[in-house]
C-alpha cells in the first residue's frame, strides 16, 4: 500500500433482538437514529472530537424496507453538529454493506482525500415479524428467483448448501460440525456483554445443535440454531492515516494496521458454481492474504461471516484451514474454538453476537481491533507474538459480494 492505514476507536452497541432480556418485540424499540448516534458518538469521543473527522461512510443494507427510511448519509450530521456539511456517503452491498463501508473509508485514506474517516454500520430489523423480514432480506439475491425460493429465502439457500454438503460427505458428519460451530458461538457470546446470546444459560447447547432439522416447519437441512440472529444494532470505527493517528492523539498500541484487503464480486443472476464451495470468499481471502504478504498460519484470529453455521464450516475450507469436505471435522475437533488452533468469531459471530446486517462488516473489524489491542475484556484471546494478524470475511448474499481484510497488531 502506498500509505499506512490504521483502525482505531471501535465501538459496538448491544445487538438487540430475541435472547436479550431488554428486548420486547411488542414494544417500541430504539430506531436507526438511536443506533447511529450511539455508535458514532462513542467513536467521536474516543478520537477526541468530531472536528478531526474529514469524511464519514455509513453502511446499511435495507432500511428503506425495514424502517421506511432511505438517505442514511444524512443521519451522519445528527451524530455531532461538527459533521454538518462534511462529506458523508451511504454504501450498500447486502450483508457486506458494513465491510464495503470500511473499504470505502480505506480508499479515501489511500486517495489522500481524508486522514480521518468515521465508519458506521447500522441495521434495525425487528420492526417486522421474521416472515416479512425474509421478504426484505431476499433482495440480497436476484429478485426473479424469489417466487421459487423458500418462505425463509436465505435459510433456504444455505439449507440447499447444507443439503449438498450432507449428500456429499454425510448428514451426521456435517451435523456434528454445525452443532460445534453453534456451541462455540454461544460460548463466545457469553463473554461479550453486547452479544445477543450473552444471557444464554443453556447447558444443552450441543444437544440442541444436534437436533435434526424439521423441513415441515422451517428448512430441510438447518435448524433455527444454525441461523444468525435477527438483530438491531450499530458498530462504528475510525479509519486514519499516520497523520490522522497523530491528529486524534491515539496511542499506536491502541490502533491496528490494515495490511491487506480485497473485495470480490460474483454475478447475482447466477447460481453458485459449486454449492460445496464459497468461491467468491476464497477469491477475496486469497487476495487479501497475498496483499498482506502472509499465510493463513500467521493469523491469530478470524471473524468470518457465519450467517449460517454451514457458512462458517465452508469458510474454514475457503480460507484453506481445512481441505474441501473436511471443514465439518475441522470444526467438530475444536480447531475453531477460542482455545483451538485458530479461534473464529470470538464474540459469538453472526450466530450468537448477532447480525444487524449493515453493521456486521464493521462489527467484525471492531472485534479484530479489540482482540489485537487487548481490549476484548472477558472475550480476550491470546495473540501470540509470531501471529500478530487478524482477518475479517464479510459476505453479501449467497457468496456474491465479499470483503476480506487483514489487520496487524501495532507496537
The footprint of another protein (CB under 8 A) covers: 129, 131-132, 134-135, 138, 146-147, 150-152, 216-218
Nearer to another protein, 99 or 155 (CB): 155
Asked whether the beta carbons of 322 and 156 are under 8 A apart, the reply is: no
Nearer to another protein, 85 or 131 (CB): 131
Q: Residue 17: CB partners within 8 Å, gap ≥ 6?
A: 23, 125, 126, 196, 229, 230, 231, 232, 354
Q: Nearest distance from residue 209's CB to another protein, in Å?
A: 17
Q: Nearest distance from residue 216's CB to another protein, in Å?
A: 7
Q: Nearest distance from residue 399's CB to another protein, in Å?
A: 23
Q: Nearest distance from residue 136's CB to another protein, in Å?
A: 9
Nearer to another protein, 129 or 246 (CB): 129
Nearer to another protein, 22 or 148 (CB): 148
Nearer to another protein, 71 or 217 (CB): 217
Q: Nearest distance from residue 131's CB to another protein, in Å?
A: 5
Q: Residue 395: CB partners within 8 Å, gap ≥ 6?
A: 95, 96, 278, 280, 281, 305, 307, 311, 401, 402
Q: Residue 353: CB partners within 8 Å, gap ≥ 6?
A: 15, 185, 188, 189, 192, 194, 195, 196, 197, 345, 347, 363, 367
| Sheet (strand 116-124) strand order | 88-91, 55-59, 116-124, 232-240, 5-12, 255-265, 401-409, 389-396, 299-303
For residues 25 and 159, give the distance between their C-alpha atoms in angstroms, rounded to a whole number.
27
Q: Nearest distance from residue 154's CB to another protein, in Å?
A: 13
Q: Nearest distance from residue 141's CB to another protein, in Å?
A: 13
Asked whether the beta carbons of 249 and 221 are under 8 A apart, the reply is: no
For residues 81 and 171, give the distance between their C-alpha atoms in angstroms, rounded to a whole number.
56
Please classify residue 2 by burial: count the beta carbons closer than 10 Å to its beta carbon, then call 0-12 exposed, 13-18 middle and 19+ buried: exposed
Q: What 3-state class would DSSP assign to 91? A: strand
Q: Which residue has the cell 435448524?
A: 223
> Number of C-alpha atoms within 13 angstroms, CB side, residue 189?
30
Nearer to another protein, 170 or 215 (CB): 215
Nearer to another protein, 132 or 273 (CB): 132
Q: Nearest distance from residue 172's CB to another protein, in Å?
A: 22
Nearer to another protein, 156 or 244 (CB): 156
Amino acid at each position: 500500500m502506498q500509505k499506512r492505514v490504521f483502525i482505531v476507536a471501535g465501538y459496538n452497541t448491544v445487538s438487540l433482538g430475541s435472547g436479550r432480556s431488554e428486548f420486547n418485540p411488542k414494544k417500541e424499540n430504539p430506531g436507526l437514529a438511536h443506533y447511529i448516534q450511539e455508535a458514532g458518538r462513542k467513536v467521536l469521543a474516543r478520537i477526541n472530537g468530531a472536528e478531526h473527522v474529514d469524511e464519514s461512510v455509513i453502511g446499511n443494507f435495507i432500511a428503506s424496507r425495514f424502517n421506511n427510511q432511505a438517505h442514511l448519509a444524512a443521519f451522519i450530521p445528527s451524530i455531532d453538529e461538527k459533521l454538518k456539511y462534511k462529506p458523508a456517503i451511504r454504501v450498500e452491498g447486502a450483508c457486506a454493506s458494513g465491510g464495503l463501508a470500511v473499504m470505502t473509508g480505506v480508499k479515501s485514506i489511500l486517495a489522500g482525500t481524508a486522514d480521518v474517516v468515521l465508519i458506521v454500520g447500522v441495521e434495525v430489523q425487528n420492526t417486522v415479524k421474521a416472515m416479512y423480514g425474509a421478504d426484505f432480506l431476499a433482495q440480497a439475491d436476484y429478485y426473479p428467483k424469489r417466487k421459487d425460493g423458500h418462505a425463509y429465502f436465505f435459510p433456504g439457500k444455505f439449507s440447499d448448501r447444507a443439503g449438498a454438503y450432507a449428500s456429499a460427505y454425510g448428514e451426521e458428519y456435517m451435523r456434528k460440525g454445525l452443532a460445534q460451530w453453534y456451541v462455540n458461538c454461544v460460548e463466545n457470546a457469553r463473554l461479550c456483554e453486547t452479544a445477543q446470546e450473552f444471557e444464554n444459560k443453556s447447558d444443552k447447547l450441543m444437544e440442541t445443535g444436534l437436533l435434526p432439522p424439521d423441513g415441515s416447519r422451517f428448512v430441510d437441512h438447518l435448524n433455527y440454531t444454525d441461523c444468525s440472529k435477527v438483530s438491531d444494532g450499530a458498530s462504528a470505527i475510525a479509519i486514519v492515516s499516520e497523520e490522522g493517528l497523530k491528529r486524534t492523539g491515539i496511542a499506536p498500541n491502541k490502533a491496528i494496521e490494515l495490511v491487506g484487503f480485497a473485495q470480490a464480486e460474483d454475478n447475482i443472476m447466477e447460481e453458485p458454481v459449486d454449492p460445496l464451495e464459497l468461491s467468491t470468499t476464497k477469491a477475496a481471502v486469497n487476495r487479501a492474504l497475498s496483499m498482506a504478504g502472509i499465510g493463513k498460519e500467521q493469523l491469530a484470529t478470524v471473524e468470518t461471516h457465519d450467517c449460517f453455521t454451514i457458512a462458517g464450516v465452508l469458510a474454514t475450507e475457503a480460507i484453506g484451514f481445512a481441505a474441501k469436505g473436511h471443514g465439518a471435522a475441522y470444526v467438530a475437533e475444536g480447531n475453531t474454538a477460542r482455545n483451538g488452533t485458530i479461534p473464529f468469531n470470538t464474540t459469538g459471530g453472526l450466530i450468537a453476537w448477532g447480525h444487524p446486517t449493515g453493521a456486521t462488516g464493521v462489527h467484525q473489524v471492531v472485534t479484530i481491533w479489540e482482540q489485537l489491542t487487548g481490549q476484548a475484556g472477558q472475550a480476550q484471546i491470546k495473540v501470540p507474538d509470531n501471529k500478530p494478524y487478524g482477518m475479517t470475511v464479510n459476505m453479501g448474499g449467497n457468496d456474491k459480494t465479499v470483503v476480506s481484510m487483514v489487520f496487524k497488531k501495532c507496537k
